[in-house]
Amino acid sequence: MAKIGINLQKGKIDNQNDHEVIIGIDLGTTNSLVAYIDHCSNSPVCISNEGSKNLVPSVVHFGENGEIIIGEAAKKMLEINPSRTIFSAKRLMGKSYNDISHYSDFFSYNIIDDNTESLVKVNIDQKFYTPIELSSFILKELKHIAEIKLGKSITKVVITVPAYFNDSQRQATKDAGKLAGLDVLRIVNEPTAASLAYGIGLSPDEEKTIAVYDLGGGTFDISILSIQQGVFEVLATNGNTFLGGDDIDKVITEHWKSKYAIEINDQHSQQTIRLLAEQCKKLLSSNDNFEATFQTKTVALTRAEFDQLIAPIIAETISCCEKALKDANVQIGQIDEVLMVGGSTRTPAIKEAVGKFFNKTVNDQLNPDEVVALGAAVQANILAGNQKDILLLDITPLSLGIETMGGLMDVIIPRNSKIPIRAGRSYTTSKDGQTQLKISVYQGERDLIKDNRKLAEFILAGIPSMPAGLPKVEIQFLINADGILTVKAKELRSGVESSIEVKPQYGLSDSDVERMLLESLEHAKEDMHIRALTESVTEAKQMIEVTEKFLATHHVLLNETEIEATKAKIESLRKELTNTDRHIIQQSIEDLNQFTRPFAERVMDWAIGESMRGKKISD
């Protein structure tokens, strides 16, 4: 049945089916949700699964008979059949086995360690599933839930990702959408979505700095956003990808085990006590005491005991908040709003601690489970053309550039640039008659490409044969609003062009990004030295090549002694190519340069003379 509503502002009848519905999806590590804008109330609402809960656990179970079960039913199978039940697939998005090998014990299912460079796969029976496929099963389920509720087919969506997700993780999320039969119009940062759900940033003249504290099931993220004229900019993110509600459950379980001398010998009791701990935690969000029976024993916990148990976890999140503020270069007093996101922020002690740290009452008006999905729906509505003038901005976590002569990194988009962004630079060939140019794209902060991470490589072919240095190749980097990079190369004289969309083979983890940044600082001095030396060697090589070419074409303008002396100077410069003191190389270059300068002038005079001879003087 089609819904009909009256738009009170416009005074006309709105037919729900007349609107193109774009849904918003929060594809979470623990739980996922789908939301849309209800055009009767003009506000975002989460869609529930046939009368049950809005939350769809992000769990995929592969049945023995080939059936694929998603959500609540799959979550139940975690206890019964853990090896065929996949949880936390989001942690694997855009990752290689190398990226996750140090925490592979975390997963109770079989992660394939075949080729360390390519994307991870999960093995069930004879089949191998990528995290993209696994996520697509969850997305398909959400699409299905929305289609049942709205009574029509849905194809367009907005999906949220953590603000720290890199290129390949964002791309993997988009691909998962595509695989689920969805057209992913935009990938939005989770904290940005949370902000939109609270209506912050929707009016063009609004200027705010906000903190989004997101404590979910297994991850913690703190983001500092600056919002100006409808532009959302992530100033900094921090957090811990292995800290969340699960850890709180674990602390309670351990406490009970030691307090009541409980022995756990099998996986089933382990799961049962874990679920009991989760129940206890949730109850203590609104009650002062919890009591239940486990096996034959009574297990209990008071709110005060609970608060004490989780104090270290809270402290860790607060220290992340400190770091994020520092990185964002923002003082606590400058934060206008603190938004609470994620199921675990229901715990009163957490709200209290966060409020105390930011010296502000936290904003927890909206359901913390739903906030991100609601915001995704708001963004979807903006994209549907129902709300104009809103832009989303992000920052690049690492510098992007290309390889230049001598294996140097030439940065085109520096780290921390706001995206979307377009930047370019001109390059030329190093050899005469060179008809193609290899463009290698790198990510990282080091001066030498060998220390950075290669993202892609492509060849610009078909450059007409010209002397070295004459072709003008413009290389352009474009990062779109989803954080996906396209590199274009065009030879301006001939118009030949080529481009590539950069889809890295596998992603970088936060710790990789951090490590790369730390290394770049550590090696800054040494890198600078190597860069300077490499530049001098490259310059020397070019000088030799140019001078030799000069001798070959213009020897008639030089006498024998001059030719011999020039050759000798070329040779002595050639000897210095292996020198590690760039000053000596530079001196030798200068020496050759000084010596040949008068010859170059001679050539100029000669060339002018020639051209004058060609001209007719009229009388």
Which residues are part of the catalytic machinery? Answer: 26, 90, 190, 214
The two tokens of residue 248 are: 């709180």
Q: Which is nearer to ligand ADP, 147 or 278 (CB)?
A: 278
Which of 494, 499, 502 shows the shortest CA–CA distance to 434?
494
CB of 366 to ligand ADP, least distance (A): 12
Which of 495, 441, 442 shows the shortest CA–CA distance to 473?
495
Question: For 615, how many CA atoms within 13 A lie in the half-sphere containing its CB?
Answer: 9
Torsion over CA: 383, 385, 387, 389 (sign) = positive
263-280 as b/e, with b when 16 or more CB fall inside 10 Å?
A: ebeeeeeeeebbebbbeb
DSSP string for 394-411: EE-SS-EEEEETTTEEEE
Specify the stretch interacting with ligand ADP by CB under 6 A; choose among 166-174, 214-222, 395-403, 555-563.
214-222
CB of 340 to ligand ADP, least distance (A): 11
d(CA 451, CA 408): 10
CB of 337 to Mg ion, least distance (A): 19
Distance of CA 510 to the CA centre of its chain: 9
Binding of ligand ADP at residue 285 (CB under 6 A)? yes
What residues have CB less than 8 Å from 112, skipping those under 6 apart?
97, 120, 121, 122, 123, 128
The conformation of residue 526, written as its DSSP 8-state character, comes to: H
CB of 217 to Mg ion, least distance (A): 8
Q: Which residue has the tokens 């509720």?
A: 149
d(CA 72, CA 601): 82
d(CA 529, CA 523): 10
> Is-contact 442 455, C-beta < 8 A?
yes
Q: Which amino acid is at 484?
A: I
Q: Which is nearer to Mg ion, 282 or 531 (CB)?
A: 282
* Number of residues near ligand ADP (by CB under 6 A): 21
Report what 239 binds from Mg ion, ligand ADP, none; CB cut-off 5-8 Å by kind: none
Report what 42 binds from ligand ADP, Mg ion, none; CB cut-off 5-8 Å by kind: none
Q: Which is nearer to Mg ion, 371 or 383 (CB)?
A: 371
CB of 148 to ligand ADP, least distance (A): 22
CB of 102 to ligand ADP, least distance (A): 21
The two tokens of residue 512 are: 């990789």
Specify the stretch interacting with ligand ADP by CB under 6 A; choose among 62-70, 238-246, 374-382, 492-500.
238-246
Report what 88 binds from Mg ion, ligand ADP, none; CB cut-off 5-8 Å by kind: none
> Is-contact 377 25, C-beta < 8 A?
no
CB of 440 to ligand ADP, least distance (A): 37
Report what 169 binds from ligand ADP, Mg ion, none; CB cut-off 5-8 Å by kind: none
CA-to-CA separations, 433 to 124, 304, 453, 496, in angstroms, rounded: 55, 79, 31, 15
Q: Which is nearer to ligand ADP, 59 or 119 (CB)?
A: 59
Mark residues 171-210: x for contact with ligand ADP by CB under 6 A, - for none: ----------------------------------------
Binding of ligand ADP at residue 24 (CB under 6 A)? no
CB of 285 to ligand ADP, least distance (A): 4
Binding of ligand ADP at residue 30 (CB under 6 A)? yes
How many residues are given for the chain? Answer: 619
Mark residues 340-379: x for contact with ligand ADP by CB under 6 A, - for none: --xxx-xx---------------------x----------
CA-to-CA separations, 452 to 59, 376, 407, 513, in angstroms, rounded: 35, 34, 11, 11
Report what 428 binds from Mg ion, ligand ADP, none; CB cut-off 5-8 Å by kind: none
Q: Which is nearer to Mg ion, 92 or 301 (CB)?
A: 92
Report what 278 binds from ligand ADP, Mg ion, none; CB cut-off 5-8 Å by kind: ligand ADP
Closest residue to bound ligand ADP by CB: 245
Report what 343 binds from Mg ion, ligand ADP, none; CB cut-off 5-8 Å by kind: ligand ADP
d(CA 489, CA 315): 49
Binding of ligand ADP at residue 282 (CB under 6 A)? yes
* Pair type for strands 453-460 and 437-443: antiparallel
Restricted to residues 45-104, the positions that interact with ligand ADP (CB under 6 A) are none
Binding of ligand ADP at residue 303 (CB under 6 A)? no
What residues have CB less than 8 Å from 433, skipping those under 6 apart?
465, 466, 467
Binding of ligand ADP at residue 245 (CB under 6 A)? yes
What residues have CB less than 8 Å from 598, skipping those under 6 apart?
none
Binding of ligand ADP at residue 28 (CB under 6 A)? yes
Report what 31 binds from ligand ADP, Mg ion, none; CB cut-off 5-8 Å by kind: ligand ADP
> Is-contact 48 33, C-beta < 8 A?
no
Q: Which residues bind Mg ion (CB under 5 A)?
A: 28, 216
The two tokens of residue 290 are: 């919890």
Q: Which is nearer to ligand ADP, 149 or 282 (CB)?
A: 282
CB of 59 to ligand ADP, least distance (A): 11
Binding of ligand ADP at residue 218 (CB under 6 A)? yes
DSSP string for 413-433: E-TT-EESEEEEEEE--SSTT
- Identified binder of ligand ADP from the candidate list 217, 239, 504, 507, rule CB under 6 A: 217
Binding of ligand ADP at residue 307 (CB under 6 A)? no
Q: Which is nearer to Mg ion, 194 or 484 (CB)?
A: 194
Q: Which is nearer to Mg ion, 213 or 256 (CB)?
A: 213
The conformation of residue 463, written as its DSSP 8-state character, comes to: P
Q: Which is nearer to Mg ion, 28 or 245 (CB)?
A: 28
Restricted to residues 413-442, the positions that interact with ligand ADP (CB under 6 A) are none
Question: For 359, how many CA atoms within 13 A lie in the half-sphere containing its CB?
Answer: 6
CB of 256 to Mg ion, least distance (A): 27
Binding positions for ligand ADP, rule: CB under 6 A = 28-31, 216-219, 244-246, 278, 281-282, 285, 342-344, 346-347, 369
